[in-house]
A and B are shown apart, each in its own frame.
Chain A
Amino acid sequence: MEKFTKVTGIAAPMPLVNIDTDMIIPKVFLKTIKRSGLGVNLFDEMRYDRQGNEIADFVLNKPQYRAAEILVAGDNFGCGSSREHAPWALADFGIKAIVSTSFADIFYNNSFKNGILPIVLPQEAVDVLMKDAEKGSNARMEVDLEAQTVTSSDGEVFNFEVDPFKKHCLMNGLDDIGLTMENVSAIDSYEATAKAQFPWI
């Protein structure tokens, strides 16, 4: 996994609440057996008409947001289906961080596994950053994971919380399975105990 330290880039505003993973990547694109190449279909039904033409007023189709690396989104981003295709599509498009007041649990976890940092901030902070994102490509927002800050283009700084273990993995691009394997003896001993205690499992 790619390491995440700091991103300074264009932020796209998506104020709609409850953006679900069906919106992020519609089911027709779940038939792939690969992880790559989904960026072109990110937000497909909002982004293209049935003939495959871009819908001009969709935010990521606007010239100033085509190279966005940050999303500022409405409440409860990523709700619904557990499909990891959602963060795969976001990452493939080039999104590295998402700011919202809240994220759905499964999407939140899936993001960290794919080098995307979901940032939870209070409503007032998200409102400020939403306005900042609306300024377009001249307004660069900065996300610093080490310092746990988001800085608006005007220099206003917002601190955010992140689980230390998730932060560590993301900053170092660590593979979860490799880390867990270091504790394989604990799993072995759990299994031995459980076999005696819960033999029917």
Chain B
Amino acid sequence: MSPKTLYDKIWDAHVAHESEDGTCLLYIDRHLVHEVTSPQAFEGLRMAGRKVRAPEKTIAVPDHNVPTTLDRVSGVIANEESRIQVDALDKNAKDFGIHYYPVSDVRQGIVHIVGPEQGWTLPGMTVVCGDSHTATHGAFGALAHGIGTSEVEHVLATQTLIQKKSKNMKVEITGKLRPGVTAKDITLSVIGATGTAGGTGYVIEYCGEAIRDLSMEGRMTVCNMAIEGGARAGLIAPDEKTFEYCKGRPHAPKGAAWEAALAYWKTLFTDEGAHFDKVITLKGEDIAPVVTWGTSPEDVLPITATVPAPESFKGGKVEAAKRALDYMGLTAGQKLTDIQIDTVFIGSCTNGRIEDLRAAAEILKGKKIKDGMRAMVVPGSGLVRAQAEEEGLADIFKEAGFEWRLAGCSMCLAMNPDQLAEGERCASTSNRNFEGRQGYKGRTHLVSPAMAAAAAITGHLTDVREMM
């Protein structure tokens, strides 16, 4: 048998039907659902008189629209359209009999944080969701990617997706990371090296010592942003850390089933000599704490750098960079550390897990944020929030001057009231710095949680290594 990549193995184990032209029906083990990309899909089922084929494999949670202010416990969402969407998910979950974590449930949170936390996401699975950041779940060695609403309806009705196989890409991060460098810096640096379209048509497998050394939380951060590099999915082979994380989770197997699962999971790695269509290698030692300066995640540089000149790029990127500098209100040659900020957002499916909050709190301990700074922490789930409170992290944030919010997507995409006003500039632990992403004419600089905390204290983008 010819050697296989991890992606090949998971793919092969899920092909339910293959046509002569190579079009496959790929079986889906877990379908995660949120309120924004699902209403039209459920409506489609109703109109066609179809049922959800595997409700026991379908998990829904509202996250994009939900307010994160403490008054949401009253259960009423002020924005009417948001309320209608969340109400629609409530009703659809009930009508179609799928697993559901309502806003009032302490387990509610961002769908990509809830899935792993509850043990829905396990190695070797196929996981989809009507959300591009589904790539997050690849950290478990699960083939996980975002789909559109038509595909959401297709998976609800058939538990399969019509797919053709992607190509294999290996991203290896060798050696050790230097102090102050995190999973976020790895994933942004990879996008900086490949560009936002570099992964288009590929499934990425991240490997190498620096990836192995990451916690599960860090691995989720890396895979989460695979999509920002154009790859639908990112994968990391499961290992003892993965198994340890999964063990005992509410929906993880137990007893003999656990042993059987474990035996299978241990076969999930890329065979020696397996073929990759593209290979990228970065040295862990070369990665610095990074920050984005423009309006695409590929616009990333070490914090010690200066804003680049548009003329230093090629092709269509020259105009795009000019537009980005104009939008961001920056000039070429400006030191990144001279960029003043007024808002700090810590949260999102990229960096809303407990380890992220610990990293930020470590920097903030005993310090105050800059006068006039608006800073908020939005934990990724109710359980992350509870754990952070138990560990005393919430007190550190509050004493420093941060708002301590309830779980949701919040200012990552600003569909709820957490938004930037025109011209406001934010150091954000989220995943996209697109124009208007965090609010109309808002300006986003993507950073790690520790870098966000450092910026909150000084009032400008800051090299966190100077504060360690």
Residue positions of A touching B, CB distance < 8 A: 15-18, 20, 22-23, 26-28, 30-35, 45, 50, 74-76, 79-84, 87, 102-106, 109-110, 113-114, 123, 163-165, 176-177, 179-181, 183-184, 186-187, 189-191, 194, 198-201
In the complex, which residues of chain B have a beta carbon less than 8 angstroms from the beta carbon of A103? 200
Q: Does B36 contact A (CB under 8 A)?
A: yes
Residues of B within 8 A of A104 (CB): 197, 200, 230
Provide the residues of chain B in CB contact with A102, threshold 8 Å: 197, 200
Question: Which residue of chain A has the shortest Cβ distance to B415 in the bound complex?
Answer: A27
Q: Which of B88, B132, B261, B323 contacts A81 (CB 8 A)?
A: B132
Q: Are B434 and A20 in contact (CB under 8 A)?
A: yes
Rounded to whole angstroms, the CA-CA distance of A201 and B151 in the bound complex is 21
Q: Is the CB of B435 within 8 A of A82?
A: no
Question: With a CB–CB cut-off of 8 A, which chain A residues contact B164?
Answer: 163
Q: Give Cα distance in the complex from A174 to B243, angstroms.
A: 43
Instruction: Give Cα A18 to B79, complex, Å.
Output: 31
| Contact residues of B between 49 and 86, Cβ < 8 Å to A | 50, 53, 57, 64-65, 79, 81-82, 84-85
- B148-A110 in contact (CB<8A): yes
Chain B residues, CB < 8 A from A184? 158
Which residue from A26, A79, A176, A180 sits with its C-beta under 8 Å from B197?
Answer: A79
Whether the Cβ atoms of B150 and A18 lie closer than 8 Å is no
Task: Give the docked Cα–Cα distance between A181 and B414 (Å).
Answer: 38
Contact, CB under 8 Å: A30 / B316: no
Tell me, in angstroms, the Cα distance from A22 to B295 when the chains sit together.
11
Residue of A nearest to B82 (CB): A31
The proximity string for B residues 413-452 relative to A, scoring 1 for CB distances below 8 Å and 0 otherwise, is 1110000001000000000101111001000000000000
Q: How many A-B residue pairs have CB under 8 A?
A: 191
Known: A105-B230, A186-B16, A201-B125. A16 touches B316 (CB 8 A): yes
Closest A residue, CB atoms, query B40: A35
Contact of B316 (CB < 8 Å), options: A23, A74, A79: A74
Give the distance to chain B from A189, nearest Cβ to Cβ, in Å. 8
Point out the residues of chain A lying under 8 angstroms from B232, CB to CB.
105-106
Known: A84-B149, A164-B21, A194-B27. A177 touches B157 (CB 8 A): yes
Q: Lowest 7 A-B CB distances belong to which pairs?
A: A200-B253, A190-B16, A31-B81, A110-B148, A33-B39, A84-B148, A186-B17
Residues on B with C-beta less than 8 A from A50 are 422, 440
Is B285 an interface residue when CB atoms closer than 8 A count as contact?
no
A190 to B26, CA, bound (A): 10
B106 at the interface (CB under 8 A from A): no
Q: Are A22 and B432 in contact (CB under 8 A)?
A: yes
- Return the chain B residue nearest A182 by Cβ: B17
Q: Beyond A102-B200, A104-B200, A165-B23: 14 further Cβ-contacts under 8 Å? A: A31-B85, A31-B415, A33-B43, A75-B197, A75-B315, A76-B196, A79-B230, A81-B132, A109-B151, A113-B148, A177-B48, A189-B16, A190-B16, A198-B261
**B27–A191 contact, CB under 8 A?**
yes
Bound form: Cα–Cα A74–B436 in Å: 20
| Interface residue B319 (Cβ < 8 Å from any Cβ of A) | yes
Contact A180 B154 (CB under 8 A): yes
Decide yes or no whether B367 CB sits under 8 A from chain A: no
* Sample of 20 A–B contacts (CB below 8 Å): A17-B320, A18-B296, A23-B436, A26-B440, A31-B85, A31-B415, A33-B43, A76-B230, A80-B434, A82-B131, A102-B197, A105-B201, A106-B132, A106-B146, A106-B232, A109-B147, A164-B21, A177-B158, A187-B158, A201-B122
